[in-house]
Amino acid sequence: LIHFYKRTSVDYGTEECSFTIRPDFAGKFKPMQVKELIATTLNDTLGGRLYDPNKVSNWSKSIADSVKSQVKTLGYDRYKIVVEVVIGEQRGEGVRMGSRCLWDSDTDNYASEVYMNDSLFCCTAVFGLYYY
């Protein structure tokens, strides 16, 4: 049994593929820009406030929503933005915060900022994860 295949060529013209796998340098997540946004938001939201366990939940949601909406205005197309906010009472004790994430070190990045006053502390982290 013999099979014959006929090869045909198709002319696609001079069109170029517009699909990109990785963002260009201008489109990459920039931690310093995001860190400035976080610091401004934390100072505006928590400046002069005392720790109140009944209000902390609303403050953390407000900070996360505000930071996320501001980061989205920076134009990071095809990035998933994740914001983590932790607020606690300042008692003179040490606190460590850690996160784990599976990511591509060429495209993904994060920015974090810590706010402290005599009554409370707030750790905020923003992760920018690129969609392929």
Q: How confident is residue 3, by pLDDT bands cut at 50, 70 and 90?
A: very low
Q: Is the pLDDT of residue 58 over 60?
A: yes
State the Cα–Cα distance between residues 110 and 82, nearest whole angstrom: 9
Query: How many other C-beta atoms are found inside a 10 Å radius of the C-beta of residue 126?
Result: 25
Average pLDDT over residues 33-62: 96
Digit-coded pLDDT (tens) for 76-104: 989 999 999 999 999 888 888 888 888 89
Q: How confident is residue 9, by pLDDT bands cut at 50, 70 and 90?
A: low
Digit-coded pLDDT (tens) for 17-39: 666 788 888 889 999 999 999 99
pLDDT for 56: 96
Cβ distance 84 to 99 under 8 Å?
Answer: yes
pLDDT for 122: 95
pLDDT for 13: 59
Q: Which amino acid is at 51?
A: Y
Q: At what angle do helices 56-72 and 31-46 cross, to 10 degrees?
A: 150
Average pLDDT over residues 38-50: 96
Average pLDDT over residues 45-49: 94
